[in-house]
């Protein structure tokens, strides 16, 4: 499948561009595969030599955090994020839309704050040349992904909200 799909617009019949969730799925799968390979190699080496790879924990933790953010982006893109709809689904349409708007505003605020503070942490680590305690890698190469992936999440949230409120139906 191409990196961009055309979805028909229910109101005009014309297509609009949609970025597929397969991007997040592929990144998440790659991160999970790397975690499995690193952990498996560490177990084999530890069993055979009684010595552990030092880098496995540092990279595994980074990959797990990366996979979490990519998974959150995929969840928002597919409208599968965690929420409680038992009561909201029983409300009149006006109140459902109001709850949806409040949710979008709260989510946008939260991820905007993560972007802001994540960028500040990344800049601080870069400016002061902070390194990781395990391998001595520059810390910012790990933390820069937090604001970048939060931007992706925020774009998914806003794209889903745009589709939802533009069409007047659950996107």
Indicate whether 82 belongs to any domain. yes
- Report residue 120: phi and psi, to 5°: -65, -45
Indicate whether 40 belongs to any domain. yes
- Report residue 103: phi and psi, to 5°: -65, -45
Indicate whether 3 belongs to any domain. no
pTM over 0.95: no
> pLDDT tens digits for 10-60?
433 444 558 899 999 999 999 999 999 999 999 999 999 988 887 788 999
Alpha carbon distances (Å) from 50 to 44, 46, 150: 9, 4, 40
Question: For residue 60, which of 39, 30, 29 has the smallest C-alpha distance?
Answer: 39
Indicate whether 74 belongs to any domain. yes
Which domain range does residue 54 map to? 17-167
């Amino acid at each position: 499948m191409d990196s961009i799909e055309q979805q028909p617009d229910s109101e005009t019949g014309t297509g609009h561009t949609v970025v597929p969730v397969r991007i997040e799925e592929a990144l998440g799968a790659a991160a999970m595969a790397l975690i499995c390979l690193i952990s498996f190699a560490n177990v084999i080496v530890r069993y055979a030599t009684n010595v552990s790879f030092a880098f496995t924990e540092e990279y595994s933790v980074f990959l797990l955090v990366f996979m979490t953010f990519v998974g959150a982006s995929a969840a928002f893109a597919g409208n599968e994020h965690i929420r409680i709809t038992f009561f909201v689904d029983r409300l009149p349409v006006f109140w459902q839309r109001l709850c949806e708007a409040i949710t979008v505003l709260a989510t946008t605020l939260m991820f905007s704050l993560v972007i802001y503070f994540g960028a500040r942490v990344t800049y601080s680590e870069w400016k002061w040349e902070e390194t990781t305690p395990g391998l001595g890698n520059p810390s910012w190469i790990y933390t820069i992904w937090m604001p970048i992936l939060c931007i992706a999440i925020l774009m998914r949230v806003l794209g889903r909200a745009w589709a939802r409120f533009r069409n007047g139906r659950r996107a």
